[in-house]
Structure 1
Amino acid sequence: MDILQKLSGHIRRKGLRATFAKIRRMYIFAHRQLLWMERDLVSPVPPHSLKPYPPLRVMDITADNASAFTRYFGDRVGVMAELASEGHTGHMHVDEQGDAVAFIWGTPRDYLDRHYYGCRFPVKPGEFFEFGGEMARAYWGTELSVDVQLLMWKAMAMKGCSKVVDVCDSTNLPALKLHLRMGYTEQRRIMNIYTLFGRWRFYRETYYSGSRLTALRQTPRPSVKATAA
């Protein structure tokens, strides 16, 4: 009965077609496209009009301090500790109460994503793969989205990296806009993830020409200019 109530509620909110599409993606077949993006670590970040945020403390994520994620990211505590134990570089931004309100990860070696996509992301010499960035809702739309990346770029540059690469879901418009705001460019390759019957996954890389993000590009409004350190 609970399942029927949830299904009925979803139909009322989203409509019959959207409900059937979701059922198909979850239980029959789903295809996700992850766009590869890249950026050097020295070019200035384009002007932005993001809001300021209260002072925060930046800490390296370790297996011993992962409990700081309990309040805002309670389901990630174990994952944060595991990533730190694997030797990846992680930063968390902590508020006055000692709670992590934002985090981001980077690694200069191939990254096997066992927690979300389930595939391996190759990294070339001189690059680092950026992943897992997230902020608590209260900080959405603030300069923190810029600062978390600038600090990670600086840390990875000190490790000998000159380029950041990452992937972004083609349906995640806010994340794609953030990439454009930070000055990323498309590599014109896609990691395709196919899921069959909600259980089996298959992966394939494809390429494209031109730009997939033309419609998202806008002329930036005059504002405060952030620069990469």
Structure 2
Amino acid sequence: MSVLHKISEHIRQKGLGTTLKKAWKHYVFSHEELLWMERDLVTPVPPHKLKPYPPLRILDITPQNAVAFTRHFGDRVDTMAELAREGYTGHMHVDENGDAVAFIWGAARNYHDKHYYGCWFPVKPGEFFEFGGELARPYWGTRLSMDLQTELWKAMLAQGCNKVVDVCEWHNIPALKLHIRTGYSEQGRIMNVYELFGRWRFYRESRYTGSRLDTLRKPVREPATAEAT
């Protein structure tokens, strides 16, 4: 399909305004806000109504078993092996066929994200930086999104960590809601990632007060009370 045909199809489906905004962000200038979040490793996850999933095995990711990502995450095999060689803690959940259907990583030291954002994420003593969590599409909306995290927390707790920190894209509403359901709190910090002409990137940390997630929280219902007679 030619470039012009792709553009015309996108305009037809999304409209001219949306197409121009996407082109500007991709080819000229973009600004990504990454909200810093944190959570302790022992407070239970709040109740949820996520769907159950079939039994899976949890394996540490190693350079030797990274081939298990081939079916569902074929473009990540080399990256998974590389992260394992660099000494980060990685878990994959595999099905009865030995295929990885979910994965997540933890770094107990400063993490350089050379595979995606390109910046450093500093990690304080006692913390670990959680990154790269992803599920295969058939497992979206299941309890695996919670279990994937809590199993990693147990492993990092055994390594002497007492807090998990991570960042979440401000425009990724489903991920932000998952953080709320999981009991994360905001740190009031933002890692700003700027990209110019699809080539140069710049980074800046900023601060904010209050909460940027309150609008996403479900309102708490007041308990019903009987009227006085």
TM-score range, shorter chain: over 0.9
Structure 1 unaligned blocks of 5 or more:
222-229
CA distance in 2: counterparts of 1:194 and 1:94, whole angstroms: 36
**Residue 7 (structure 1) aligns with:** 7
Using the TM superposition, give the Cα deviation of residue 31 of structure 1 relative to its aligned residue in structure 2, in angstroms: 0.3
Give the corresponding residue for 2:114.
Answer: 114
Q: CA deviation at 1:213?
A: 0.7
TM-score normalised per structure 1:
0.95
TM-score, normalised by the number of residues in structure 2:
0.95
Aligned to 2:159: 159
Query: What number of residue pairs does the alignment pair up?
Result: 221
Question: Equivalent residue for 2:130?
Answer: 130
Q: Which residue of 2 aligns with 1:214?
A: 214
Question: Is 1:65 aligned to 2:65, yes or no?
Answer: yes
Provide the secondary structure at the position in 2 that maps to 1:49: coil
- Aligned mates of 1:216, 1:63 — CA distance in 2: 39
Q: Percent identity?
A: 70
- Quote the residue 2:90 is aligned against: 90
What pairs up with 1:66-81 in 2 under 5 angstroms? 66-81=66-81
Residue 164 (structure 1) shift: 0.1
Q: State the distance in 2 between where 1:218 and 1:64 align.
A: 44
Q: Contact 1:33–1:169 (CA<8 Å) still a contact in 2?
A: yes
Identify which of structures 1 and 2 has the higher relative contact order when contacts are C-alpha pairs closer than 8 Å and 6+ apart: 1
Deviations 1:21-41 (A, max 9, x none): 000001100000000000001
Report SS of the residue matched to 2:209: coil
Question: What stretches of structure 1 move > 4 A for 4+ residues in a row?
Answer: none
Paired with 2:151 and 2:106, the residues of 1 have a C-alpha distance of 11
1:112 is displaced (CA, Å) by 0.2
Q: Distance in 1 between matches of 2:35 and 2:8?
A: 34
Larger radius of gyration: 2
* Alpha-carbon distance in 1 for matches of 2:109, 2:53: 32
